[in-house]
Amino acid sequence: MRIKSLQEYQEAYSLSVEKPEQFWADIANEFDWIKPFTKVLDWSFDDYSVKWFEDGQMNITANALDRHLKTIPDQAAIIYEPNEPGDEAITLTYRELHTRVCKFSNVLKAQGVNKGDRVCIYMPMIPELAIAVLACARIGAIHSVVFGGFSAQSISDRVNDSQCKLVITTDGAVRGNKTIPMKETVDDALLSCPCVETVIVKIRTKTPISMLKGRDLWWEEEEMQASGICAPEAMNAEDPLFILYTSGSTGKPKGVVHTCGGYMVYTAYTFANVFQYNLGDVFFCTADIGWITGHSYLVYGPLLNGAISVLFEGIPTYPDAGRFWDIIKRHQVNIFYTAPTAIRSLMGFGDAFLVGKDLSSLRVLGSVGEPINVEAWQWYDEKIGKGNCPIVDTWWQTETGGLMISPIAGITPLKPAFATLPLPGVQPILVDENGNEIEGNGVNGNLCIKYPWPSIIRTTYGDHERCKTTYFSTYPGLYFTGDGCMRDEDGYYRITGRVDDVMNISGHRIGTAEVENAINMHTGVIESAVVGYPHDVKGQGIYAYVICEHPTINDELTRKDILATVARVIGPIAKPDKIQFVTGLPKTRSGKIMRRILRKVAEGEFGSLGDTSTLLDPGVVDSIIKGAI
């Protein structure tokens, strides 16, 4: 399954297009199956349904853990680097991780969690987060990890949507010099979640918390009593493995569902190839497990390959902006995978934090989550990679489960800011507004994929119609990514950003409608419109135009109140960077907000607003421009 040259990549790619079933069956057969599959693929993008390895049975943890006990039981699986740089790092070997996962699997079983039940995990970046995820997978429970920065409201929305029976959390969390409540937030969330029967709490900060009799249990006590033996549940390849909520153009975040077999095969294959992982390499993915990058390339992809994966609890700027570089030295990291927003932010601190840092262990660098600008790419290449480490700019999405368009480290010739070429199995196509294919090179269009790959989204939890309309109805017969893309003269792909109402703030995906709904919940707000605008560090910032019932008495205070409302409803990551109070919004006669104009104003491009003649009240635009910040 390992590609070792450009020619091998080209051969693998051709085979994956000409004989996709044979291609993926050969790769899938490298894993341990409880019952081998006989069918490889069944699919339709018209009436959306995709099934890979449908009649096979397996368990992803048997492949990510048990399989390695025969060969590398004492090798590190996870290296936990705590928030405080002075605290000792903790290494869990494959044997230790296996035992702890088995124990926690038994804890879940003892609480009546069965195959197919949903479990919500709301935890900071500590080893127990990975253990909880893997324990769910081992017993066939469907995990729904909610990023630790989300609010109580966001937790309860997600818990209720998928009817979770059990929640796993900690007393608190530490990030940089802040202590953050976790259990308290869960308690608030659960006031409106009657489906939850049990809460398991791991101690992290020794923060005093309330523990409800009959519902709340201590992780440590339960784990102590549990046996370290737990056979992996036989899962059908198409049984759901997890739900991960992600934002779209409209409505509340939707629960993207991934299934066991295809996700296992695809994340393992892409991890091994794109990063050119060699046994014994130390891999450091800085993403939180609360996002898809953490699921696929901190937990599953690396462990399926018997890799050493670094799990970092803190933030890149604590105790100072040299923290990542210290971690690289401390753990002799060979492959480093982070987001452009982190690169830009650290670049902004200048070279002082790089002085004296030994980064010589690095061999491969990766980027993910948002377009990387050429300047940041070059800084990453020169200052971190010392011109010696290929940078893999990996384009993919929560819905794709794994990397889609990306260089293969050291093999694909690079171009700064280009995700370069599709990986084997991925068939991209660019279309115009009407869905017509844009052929040839040197073109721009909307990025679609025309053939299924093993870890494609299977459904949106509880609402298959939503999955069909969101991804398969804009351009019938194609999966629409929501991204704009250019294909240059060499056939290289460069992702230009979302073409829908989804923003990408510091690599975090947030829907404009979600933020508007939150702002509109603030007292006195009549209406709001939110757009993204270019931001030097975050990639995009959030710009909100807000109409209030009365002129505000104190604009600054009202702005802060609105921020507090958004933080409470969604979480601090969704707080607007700019709030402009307006008396009207540019609407068409049919009442639709012309966001194009608002985007231009937010970008400070007042001269090129385009045609405003179809507006109900063109005068509104002048007043918005006058008040622009």
Binding track, positions 236-265, relative to ligand PRX; x by CB under 6 A: ----------x-------------------
Among 394, 420, 565, 580, binds ligand PRX (CB under 6 A): 394
492-531 positions binding ligand PRX, by CB under 6 A? 495, 497-498, 504, 509
Place of tokens 């909307």: 446
Q: Shortest gap between Cβ of 426 and ligand PRX (angstroms)?
A: 14
The one segment of 24-32, 229-237, 365-373, 427-435 that binds ligand PRX by CB under 6 A: 365-373
| Structure tokens, 228 | 């370290």
Of the candidates 320, 372, 373, 380, the residue with the CA atom closest to the CA atom of residue 349: 320
Binding track, positions 186-225, relative to ligand PRX; x by CB under 6 A: ----------------------------------------
Q: Does 342 bind ligand PRX (CB under 6 A)?
A: no
Query: 544 φ, ψ to 5°?
Result: -115, 130
Nearer to ligand PRX, 25 or 244 (CB): 244
What does 565-600 look like in DSSP terms, one character per residue?
A: HHHHHT-GGG--SEEEE-S---BBTTS-B-HHHHHH
Of the candidates 139, 152, 72, the residue with the CA atom closest to the CA atom of residue 102: 139
**Whole-number Å distance between alpha carbons of 602 and 394:** 29
Q: Shortest gap between Cβ of 504 and ligand PRX (angstroms)?
A: 5
Nearer to ligand PRX, 276 or 504 (CB): 504
**Whole-number Å distance between alpha carbons of 365 and 349:** 20
Cis peptide before 36 (omega within 30 of 0): no
Q: Does 393 bind ligand PRX (CB under 6 A)?
A: yes
Beta-carbon-side half-sphere exposure of residue 217 (alpha carbons within 13 Å): 20
Can you say whether the dihedral through the CA atoms of 336, 7, 421, 46 is positive or negative? negative
Nearer to ligand PRX, 239 or 483 (CB): 483
CB 126 within 8 A of CB 172: no
**Whole-number Å distance between alpha carbons of 628 and 578:** 10
Nearer to ligand PRX, 127 or 371 (CB): 371
Nearer to ligand PRX, 240 or 371 (CB): 371
Among 82, 127, 371, 576, binds ligand PRX (CB under 6 A): 371
Among 370, 381, 514, 516, binds ligand PRX (CB under 6 A): 370
Q: Shortest gap between Cβ of 102 and ligand PRX (angstroms)?
A: 30
**Whole-number Å distance between alpha carbons of 396 and 371:** 11
Q: Shortest gap between Cβ of 458 and ligand PRX (angstroms)?
A: 16
The one segment of 12-20, 73-81, 362-370, 432-440 that binds ligand PRX by CB under 6 A: 362-370
Task: Fill in the DSSP letter of residue 21.
Answer: H
CB atoms within 10 A of CB 449: 22
**Whole-number Å distance between alpha carbons of 242 and 141:** 8
Give 558: exposed, middle or buried? Use CB within 10 Å, 0-12, 13-18, 19+: buried
Q: Does 444 bind ligand PRX (CB under 6 A)?
A: no
**Can you name the residues that pair with 311 across neighbouring β-strands?**
80
Binding track, positions 126-165, relative to ligand PRX; x by CB under 6 A: ----------------------------------------
**Whole-number Å distance between alpha carbons of 38 and 72:** 30
Can you say whether the dihedral through the CA atoms of 99, 100, 103, 105 is positive or negative? negative
Q: Does 402 bind ligand PRX (CB under 6 A)?
A: no
Give the residue at shortest CB distance from ligand PRX: 398
What does 450-478 look like in DSSP terms, one character per residue?
A: -S--TT---EETT-HHHHHHHHHTTTTTS
Task: Fill in the DSSP letter of residue 19.
Answer: S
Query: 486 φ, ψ to 5°?
Result: -115, 145
Instruction: Please give the size of the binding site for ligand PRX, defined by CB under 6 A.
Output: 22
Can you say whether the dihedral through the CA atoms of 469, 470, 475, 476 is positive or negative? negative
Task: Fill in the DSSP letter of residue 8.
Answer: H
Q: Shortest gap between Cβ of 122 and ligand PRX (angstroms)?
A: 18
Nearer to ligand PRX, 172 or 445 (CB): 445
Among 369, 445, 454, 586, binds ligand PRX (CB under 6 A): 369
Nearer to ligand PRX, 312 or 337 (CB): 337
**Whole-number Å distance between alpha carbons of 526 and 132:** 43
Q: Does 449 bind ligand PRX (CB under 6 A)?
A: no
Nearer to ligand PRX, 76 or 365 (CB): 365
Nearer to ligand PRX, 337 or 353 (CB): 337
Q: Shortest gap between Cβ of 443 and ligand PRX (angstroms)?
A: 18
Nearer to ligand PRX, 20 or 294 (CB): 294
463-492 positions binding ligand PRX, by CB under 6 A? 481-483
415-434 positions binding ligand PRX, by CB under 6 A? 419
Q: Shortest gap between Cβ of 341 and ligand PRX (angstroms)?
A: 11
**Whole-number Å distance between alpha carbons of 25 and 38:** 9
| Structure tokens, 408 | 């293969």
Q: Does 295 bind ligand PRX (CB under 6 A)?
A: no
Q: Which residues of the chain form contacts with ligand PRX (CB under 6 A)?
A: 246, 292-293, 368-371, 393-398, 419, 481-483, 495, 497-498, 504, 509
